[in-house]
Chains A and B, each alone.
Chain A
C-alpha cells in the first residue's frame, strides 16, 4: 500500500538540503506499543498536532510503516535516536 509523506515540522535551509538529499525517518509497526503511546511519542518528538500524529500512527498500524520525517541525514539520525529512546521501531532510509 502506498505511503504518504507529510510536510516536515521545520523547514531545512537550501544549503543543508543541497548537501544531503534526502533521508526518510521510517517508523515500523510492532504488536506491543500502544496506539496512543505511539501518537504521544510523535507529538513529543516532532511537535505534530494530535490529528497529524494520529494519521501517522494509523499509517504505521495499517500499512506497517510510515515516513514521519524527511531531510538531512544528520537530523534523520537524531530523530531515529529519539524514536529509539522511546522504544519505537524506527529506521532511516535514503529517499528513492
Chain B
C-alpha cells in the first residue's frame, strides 16, 4: 500500500489490499456498533467530576448536538471520498482532495477513540507489540486502531509540512 500526493492537490492511496480496503470502508460506520463507552468518550464532560452541574446540562442541550452534526459531516465527507475507491487489478486505489484532510483526521480519530473506549484499552494496551499465538476481537481492534493511526501520521506530515 502506498500513500502519495499529486501536484494538483490530491491525496491518494494505491495498491490497497482488499482487507485494508474493507478497513477503510468501516471508518464512517463506527456508529453502527456504538456503545455507551464510545459515546462517553466522543462526547466528554466539559467539567471534571461533579463540578459545574449547570454547565454540564447546558453542554448536553446545546453543544453536544452541534458536535454531533460536525462529526457526522466529517464522516459523510470521508464516506463520499471512499465511494471513489476503485479496483485496480488485485488491489484498490483512491484519491481525495487535500482540503478533506482535516475531515479525514477527525473521522479517523472518532473511530480510533470509539474502538479504544468500546474495548477499554489503556496505555499498556496501546503500547502492546509483538507476535501472539492467536488473535481475538480485542487484538483485531488494536490492529485497526494502529492502522488508522498510520493514516493520521501520513495526513499530519502533509498538513504540518506545508505550514
Which residues on A are within 8 Å of B, measured CB to CB? 26, 30-34, 36-37, 40, 43, 77, 80-81, 84-87, 89-93
Query: How would you classify the secondary structure of chain A's contact residues: helix, strand, loop or mixed?
Result: mixed
Listed by A's residue number, 6 A-B pairs whose Cβ atoms lie within 8 Å are: A31-B122, A32-B116, A34-B156, A36-B156, A81-B66, A86-B106
CB-defined contacts of B152 to chain A, threshold 8 Å:
34, 37
Would you call B145 and A32 a contact (CB within 8 A)?
yes
Would you call B48 and A91 a contact (CB within 8 A)?
yes
Which residues on B are within 8 Å of A, measured CB to CB? 42-48, 51-52, 55, 63, 66-67, 70, 105-106, 109-110, 112-113, 116, 121-123, 125-126, 145, 149, 152-153, 156, 159-160, 163
Would you call A77 and B46 a contact (CB within 8 A)?
yes
Would you call A40 and B126 a contact (CB within 8 A)?
no
Would you call A87 and B153 a contact (CB within 8 A)?
no
Would you call A31 and B125 a contact (CB within 8 A)?
yes
Tell me how far the C-beta of B157 lies from the nearest C-beta in chain A, rounded to whole angstroms.
8
CB-defined contacts of B105 to chain A, threshold 8 Å:
37, 40
Would you call A32 and B121 a contact (CB within 8 A)?
yes
